Amino acid sequence: AQSVTQLDSQVPVFEEAPVELRCNYSSSVSVYLFWYVQYPNQGLQLLLKYLSGSTLVKGINGFEAEFNKSQTSFHLRKPSVHISDTAEYFCAVSMNLQGAQKLVFGQGTRLTINP
Protein backbone atom coordinates (compact mmCIF):
# COMPACT_ATOMS: atom_id res chain seq x y z
CA ALA A 1 0.00 0.00 0.00
CA GLN A 2 1.17 3.51 -0.72
CA SER A 3 1.82 5.86 2.17
CA VAL A 4 3.41 9.25 2.80
CA THR A 5 5.36 10.36 5.86
CA GLN A 6 6.19 13.95 6.63
CA LEU A 7 8.90 13.79 9.19
CA ASP A 8 8.33 17.16 10.87
CA SER A 9 4.96 18.29 12.16
CA GLN A 10 6.22 21.84 12.77
CA VAL A 11 9.15 23.80 11.34
CA PRO A 12 9.95 27.29 12.68
CA VAL A 13 12.43 29.39 10.69
CA PHE A 14 13.51 33.01 10.55
CA GLU A 15 12.57 35.22 7.63
CA GLU A 16 15.02 35.04 4.70
CA ALA A 17 16.47 31.75 5.95
CA PRO A 18 16.38 28.59 3.80
CA VAL A 19 13.94 25.83 4.59
CA GLU A 20 13.51 22.15 3.76
CA LEU A 21 10.31 20.24 4.46
CA ARG A 22 10.84 16.51 4.36
CA CYS A 23 8.60 13.92 2.71
CA ASN A 24 9.14 10.19 2.29
CA TYR A 25 6.82 7.81 0.50
CA SER A 26 6.40 4.10 0.15
CA SER A 27 5.15 2.59 -3.08
CA SER A 28 5.73 -0.51 -5.12
CA VAL A 29 4.65 1.08 -8.39
CA SER A 30 5.34 4.24 -10.38
CA VAL A 31 4.70 7.30 -8.29
CA TYR A 32 3.31 10.71 -8.96
CA LEU A 33 4.05 13.15 -6.17
CA PHE A 34 2.50 16.45 -5.20
CA TRP A 35 3.06 19.24 -2.71
CA TYR A 36 0.04 21.28 -1.67
CA VAL A 37 -0.01 24.39 0.54
CA GLN A 38 -2.83 25.46 2.85
CA TYR A 39 -2.78 29.10 3.97
CA PRO A 40 -4.69 29.92 7.16
CA ASN A 41 -8.45 29.43 6.78
CA GLN A 42 -8.16 28.48 3.13
CA GLY A 43 -8.34 25.35 1.02
CA LEU A 44 -5.34 23.56 -0.42
CA GLN A 45 -3.61 24.74 -3.58
CA LEU A 46 -1.00 23.02 -5.68
CA LEU A 47 2.62 24.09 -5.20
CA LEU A 48 4.23 21.62 -7.59
CA LYS A 49 4.06 18.07 -8.84
CA TYR A 50 6.40 15.39 -10.13
CA LEU A 51 5.07 13.18 -12.91
CA SER A 52 8.18 12.13 -14.84
CA GLY A 53 11.39 13.52 -16.36
CA SER A 54 13.67 15.90 -14.48
CA THR A 55 13.89 15.04 -10.80
CA LEU A 56 14.09 18.70 -9.81
CA VAL A 57 10.67 20.28 -10.00
CA LYS A 58 10.03 24.00 -9.71
CA GLY A 59 6.77 25.32 -8.38
CA ILE A 60 5.07 28.55 -7.47
CA ASN A 61 6.33 31.13 -4.98
CA GLY A 62 9.99 30.09 -5.38
CA PHE A 63 9.55 26.56 -4.05
CA GLU A 64 11.20 23.51 -5.59
CA ALA A 65 11.32 19.81 -4.77
CA GLU A 66 13.64 16.99 -5.68
CA PHE A 67 12.44 13.47 -6.41
CA ASN A 68 14.92 10.89 -5.15
CA LYS A 69 13.88 7.38 -6.12
CA SER A 70 16.64 5.57 -4.23
CA GLN A 71 15.77 7.34 -0.99
CA THR A 72 12.01 7.38 -1.73
CA SER A 73 11.92 11.06 -0.88
CA PHE A 74 10.39 14.23 -2.30
CA HIS A 75 11.66 17.06 -0.09
CA LEU A 76 10.45 20.62 -0.57
CA ARG A 77 12.91 23.53 -0.43
CA LYS A 78 13.01 27.27 -0.62
CA PRO A 79 16.30 29.23 -0.42
CA SER A 80 14.81 32.28 1.34
CA VAL A 81 11.43 32.32 3.03
CA HIS A 82 9.03 35.20 3.61
CA ILE A 83 6.44 35.84 6.29
CA SER A 84 3.79 35.10 3.66
CA ASP A 85 5.05 31.49 3.42
CA THR A 86 3.55 30.76 6.83
CA ALA A 87 1.17 27.88 6.08
CA GLU A 88 0.68 24.16 6.35
CA TYR A 89 2.31 22.06 3.66
CA PHE A 90 1.10 18.64 2.55
CA CYS A 91 2.96 16.05 0.54
CA ALA A 92 0.79 13.57 -1.38
CA VAL A 93 1.19 10.56 -3.64
CA SER A 94 -1.30 9.82 -6.37
CA MET A 95 -2.47 6.29 -6.98
CA ASN A 96 -5.14 4.57 -9.00
CA LEU A 97 -8.17 3.42 -7.00
CA GLN A 98 -10.77 1.44 -8.88
CA GLY A 99 -10.05 3.37 -12.03
CA ALA A 100 -9.95 6.78 -10.38
CA GLN A 101 -7.27 8.95 -8.83
CA LYS A 102 -6.71 8.81 -5.12
CA LEU A 103 -4.41 11.24 -3.36
CA VAL A 104 -2.79 9.85 -0.23
CA PHE A 105 -1.69 12.74 1.97
CA GLY A 106 1.00 13.02 4.58
CA GLN A 107 0.19 14.39 8.01
CA GLY A 108 1.23 17.93 7.11
CA THR A 109 4.06 20.24 8.21
CA ARG A 110 3.23 23.59 9.75
CA LEU A 111 5.80 26.16 8.60
CA THR A 112 6.08 29.22 10.82
CA ILE A 113 8.20 32.17 9.72
CA ASN A 114 9.53 34.41 12.44
CA PRO A 115 10.65 37.99 11.72
Partner 1 sequence: NAGVTQTPKFQVLKTGQSMTLQCAQDMNHNSMYWYRQDPGMGLRLIYYSASEGTTDKGEVPNGYNVSRLNKREFSLRLESAAPSQTSVYFCASSERPLAVITDTQYFGPGTRLTVL
- Written as one letter, the residue type at 51 is L
Is residue 59 within 8 A of residue 70, CB to CB? The reply is: no
- Written as one letter, the residue type at 91 is C
Closer of 2 and 15 to partner 1 (Cβ): 2
Q: Of 60-99, which residues contact partner 1 (CB under 8 A)?
A: 90, 92, 94-99
Closer of 80 and 107 to partner 1 (Cβ): 107
Residue 38: which of 102, 114, 113, 109 has the closest Cα?
109
Q: Of 5-64, which residues contact partner 1 (CB under 8 A)?
A: 9, 32, 34, 36, 41-46, 49, 51
- Spatial distance between the Cα atoms of 52 and 4, rounded to a whole number of angstroms: 19
Q: How far is the CB of 89 from partner 1 (least distance, A)?
A: 11
Q: How far is the CB of 16 from partner 1 (least distance, A)?
A: 29
